[in-house]
Amino acid sequence: MFNRIPLSSSMTEVEKILEKPLFTKDDLIHLLISSGKDRLALFEKAKKTKADYLGKKVYFRGLIEYSNYCKKNCYYCGIRAGNNHFARYRMSDEEVLEAVQYAWENNYASIVIQAGEQTNKPYISKIESLLKRIYIQTKGQIHVTLSLGEQSEDTYKRWLDAGAHRYLLRIEVSSMDLYKKLHPDNRAHDYQQRLEALRTLRKTGYQVGTGVMIGLPFQTIPDLADDLIFFRDFDIDMAGMGPYIEHADTPLYKFRDSLLPLLERFDLSLKMVAILRIMMKNINIAATTAMQTIDKQGREKALMVGANVIMPNLTPVKYRQDYLLYENKPCLDEDAQECKSCLEARIHIAGDVIGYGEWGDSQHFSDRKPGGN
């Protein structure tokens, strides 16, 4: 491949760290607090790693925000069960299938169905039925990622058998102590249960993704270093990370004055993407919408430091104001075509190309599970 650059006394500590095959927690902390020349060296290493292992392709995942009904009461989330300041909705089957048809006709090859968490039997059957209809409608040519929270092993298997391929279940924080500060103390918000759900998804056969928020109240740089180690140790296939952005109708909003400034949260998020790309060279990493909330070029900046997945919003515009996990979410009034055109431009600005018609499955998953079995 290429010769390893010999370490010299003129190299900075961060440059020396970037030459290591495996990062320690202290190494990760150094990278997360890097600035100036060191920060740029980190980003350049991540950009090269992405190019070397995955090339220039960025994959579209058409996002369908299916429903904002949620049984959970997480303290950071705008659609938490305890928030009564917005209208609840659930898309009809016809609306979902129309969005899927748009994705199929525009050669996206992949969609994401995201919703608040529900575990009742009619809901589980409804998702199963929708997955089967999507498979039939697109002749199996659309790959489906689900992000529908903690479910039983039987439910995960039913949805996989019906046509789902990937599952995103964000841990949000890997620290159990911090997790408890961000959720009610009850069985519906159990840290160990969430970990077990991730293990069950892996066992069932999904490509498994998780992720964290960056810049939360009470969160420290060592916490973020632990998050990165968690991703590596769990051996994830996909990641979705972004800056924490407060919502006025949540319990955590009272801590807003103690938070890092938005731009610092954004910069930390870029570093998390870059470091994870270097650590886990062939996983899929999303350039999340929350990045663009803080910086108008946030998603293309994430692509330039290692992200390789982007999610055009296919949710009908009439529902978008009621799916606000955080405030100031962008693109609320853009229809699917406007969103597509905007993201195409952003990807080209970042120097990448769109992998139209390609599923863009995690190479890490393929390598770990030969044949995708």
Q: How far is CA 344 from the centre of its chain?
A: 19
pLDDT of residue 7 exceeding 60? no
Domains identified in the chain, total number:
1
Q: Which amino acid is at 125?
A: S
Answer yes or no: are the C-beta atoms of 170 and 212 closer than 8 Å: yes
Range of the domain at 52: 23-372
Per-residue pLDDT at 9: 52
At a CB cut-off of 8 Å and minimum separation 6, what does 126 contact?
none
CA distance 332 to 324: 10
* 8 A C-beta contact, residue 124 and residue 288: no
Which helix (H) or strand (E) segment holds residue 63: the answer is strand 62-67
pLDDT tens-digit profile of 209-266?
999 999 999 999 999 999 999 999 999 999 999 999 999 999 999 999 999 999 999 9
What pLDDT score was predicted for residue 370?
A: 54
**242, HSE (Cβ side, Cα atoms, 13 Å):** 23
Residue 4 domain-assigned? no
* Structural domain includes residue 12: no
DSSP letter at 23 equals -
Q: Would residue 284 count as lying in a domain?
A: yes
Instruction: Of 43, 23, 54, 14, give the one whose Cα is nearest residue 281.
Output: 54
Residue 247 lies in a domain: yes
Q: Is residue 124 part of a domain?
A: yes
Residue 13 in any domain: the answer is: no
Query: Where residue 92 sits, what CATH number does that domain have?
Result: 3.20.20.70
Confidence class for position 140, pLDDT limits 50, 70, 90 = very high
CA 16/CA 299 separation, integer angstroms: 29
How far is it, in rounded angstroms, from Cα 331 to Cα 291?
12
Lowest mean pLDDT among 15-19, 111-115, 337-341: 337-341
Q: Does residue 186 belong to any structural domain of this protein?
A: yes
Q: What is the pLDDT of residue 371?
A: 45
**pLDDT at residue 122, as a whole number:** 98
Query: Where is pLDDT greater, at 340 or 252?
Result: 252
pLDDT, tens digit, for every residue of 141-179? 999 999 999 999 999 999 999 999 999 999 999 999 999
Tens of pLDDT, residue by residue over 316-332, are 999 999 898 887 787 77
Pairing of strands 284-287, 62-67: unpaired
pLDDT at residue 364 tops 60? yes
- Average pLDDT in the 31-55 region? 97
Residue 108 corresponds to which tokens in the numbers above?
């996206």
Q: Which helix (H) or strand (E) holds 354?
A: strand 353-354
Question: Can you tell me the distance from the alpha carbon of 192 to that of 322, in angstroms, rounded to the nearest whole number?
Answer: 30
Q: What is the pTM of this model?
A: 0.94
In terms of C-beta density within 10 A (0-12 exposed, 13-18 middle, 19 or more buried), how is residue 93 classed? exposed
In a domain, 161, yes or no: yes
For 285, other C-beta atoms within 10 Å of its C-beta total 30
Is residue 273 a contact partner of residue 228, using CB atoms and an 8 Å limit?
Answer: no
